[in-house]
Amino acid sequence: MVIGNSLARGRECKLQITNYQLQSPACMPSLTLRVLFWELCLEDVMAGLVDVHAHLIPGVDDGCLTLDDSLACGRAFVKAGYVRACCTPHIWPQFPANVARNIRRWVGELQAAYDEAGIALKLTAGGEINLESNWPALRLLGREEIVSYGFLGKYVLFDFWAEEFPDYLVPGIEYLQGLGFTLIMAHPERLKVFHRNVDLIERVEKMGVLLQCNSWCLMDPVGTPNRDVSERLLKDRRYFLLGTDTHSSMAAHSSKGMKSRLAGIERARELAGAGYVEELTVGNAIKVVDE
């Protein structure tokens, strides 16, 4: 059974229920069907936001340093209307413990801590694979060892850092796609290669790669590359996901604390409309974590 993927669809469902009730009895579905339809739509309405990019597992990368910091992030997410968040630690050689079996266990332990603290946020395991530092070593891993969202073996989040279009990018993408993964490129708006030539992003998109925006980039000063590129891609509706890339609850730990990351979500609504942002933070996000 597939539940509706957006709050907008939920509102449409509620309207349809009203219309059914105004029709003659002969045109109305059975009471059982109407109640079931209402319940499904109500769940849709209450779906809430999903963050697809967050470094919440304490002490495993440059994200949250302590459990208390992670719990504070969780509370901030819930307050902002989130019901789910993906733990996407960096997959870099300098963090050798960040492998599938450990990430799965860490997320389970963190979920238990959230539950104990009364934080109503469902966590999903994942990772952010740095293609630059993991290529060609990725070819030595079994498919099940390549970290995907929810370990479902479908969507893989990756990043890279380069000032010029790197030689490893195309073969790395093609290899992972050949294994059956759908690739999502994290924060293209932050990459210098695309600051120099934003049209190069299209080259990656034409390969079937989806784009994930970092919300805080929309809060950078006017005229800065991060903001210019993110606004352009957002207005052109080229993003598939909008995530926070949360690293800490404390601005002291990062110049981009949660305040600016969550404010970026509202800024996105102003720029591109609530419906499109809902698609990026609810509809498409649910596809990634559940399919």
**pLDDT for the residue numbered 256:** 59
pLDDT surpasses 80 at 230: yes
Architecture of domain 48-290: Alpha-Beta Barrel (3.20)
Mean of pLDDT values over 82-102: 97
Sheet with 82-87: strands ordered across = 49-54, 82-87, 122-125
Which residues of the chain form beta strands (DSSP E)?
49-54, 82-87, 90-91, 122-125, 128-130, 155-159, 182-186, 210-214, 241-243
**pLDDT for the residue numbered 44:** 40
**pLDDT for the residue numbered 250:** 81
3 state DSSP class of 239: coil
Within 8 A by CB and 6+ apart from 75, the residues are: 119
Q: What proportion of the chain, given as a percentage, has pLDDT over 90?
A: 80
Give the residue extent of every domain in the chain.
Answer: 7-40, 48-290
Question: pTM value?
Answer: 0.84
**pLDDT for the residue numbered 282:** 98
Distance of CA 32 to the CA centre of its chain: 36
- Residue 70's H or E segment, with its range, is helix 67-79
pLDDT level of residue 229 (50, 70, 90 thresholds):
very high
pLDDT level of residue 129 (50, 70, 90 thresholds):
very high
97 in Cβ contact with 60 (< 8 Å): yes
Question: What is the average pLDDT value for the chain, to the nearest integer?
Answer: 87
Mean of pLDDT values over 89-116: 98
**pLDDT for the residue numbered 141:** 96
Q: pLDDT tens-digit profile of 26-76?
A: 444 444 433 333 333 334 434 699 999 999 999 999 999 999 999 999 999
pLDDT surpasses 90 at 255: no
